[in-house]
Structure 1
Amino acid sequence: MREVGAFDAKNRLGALLDLVEAGEEVVITRHGKPVARLVSEAGRSDQGKARAAAARILEASKGVRLGGLEIGDLIDEGRR
């Protein structure tokens, strides 16, 4: 991860974008404090895919029993 001041970032944006495209993360600082982070768009997680995966997990867990008990029963037992 590379840190760059805001003034330098403004003047070297093209070079910073090249670094990010190559997989490096760049933190932009103002007066030594981090204010922004440049990361590759390809490195971002896809929220749609994550939600779909969570929905599939929830669907697959419906009706699952452990030792004759449903998961909800076990959760309730733990709360007592």
Structure 2
Amino acid sequence: MTTIGAYEAKTHLSELLERASAGEEFIIAKHGRALARLGPAGGQRPPALGVIDAIIDARRGIELGGDLRALIEEGRA
């Protein structure tokens, strides 16, 4: 979810509404304090495949490396 300033939201409202209708969500903030959320009406969410693609893109190039069990145990310490 993207955070945008109130002035920017006011200036680009038409564009933000188009993006929200496509499933994007925004937090509108003023002086760094979250005031409102702008998103699709009726609880619509982006299609599941789009979400899966976004997750795959976000983790592209990230490798755990090493022994997975050792990494798990290290996190428990």
Q: Which category of TM-score, normalised to the shorter sequence, fits these structures?
A: 0.5 to 0.7
Which gives a bigger RCO, structure 1 or 2 (Cα 8 Å, sep 6+)?
Answer: 2
Q: How many residue pairs are counted as aligned between the two chains?
A: 44
The code of the aligned residue for 1:38 comes to: L
Identity of aligned residues (%): 43
Q: How does 1:24-39 map to 2 (within 5 A)?
A: 24-39=24-39
Establish whether residue 8 from structure 1 lines up as the match of residue 8 from structure 2: yes
In structure 2, how many angstroms separate the alpha carbons of the residues matched to 1:15 and 1:2?
A: 14
Q: TM-score, normalised by structure 1?
A: 0.51
Secondary structure of 1:9's aligned partner:
helix
State the 4+ residue runs in structure 1 displaced beyond 6 angstroms.
none
Superposed displacement of residue 6, structure 1: 0.3
Q: What residue ranges of structure 1 are gaps of 5+ in the alignment?
A: 45-80
Unaligned 5+ segments in structure 2 are 45-77
Task: Name the Cα RMSD after superposition.
Answer: 1.2
Question: Which is greater in Rg?
Answer: 1
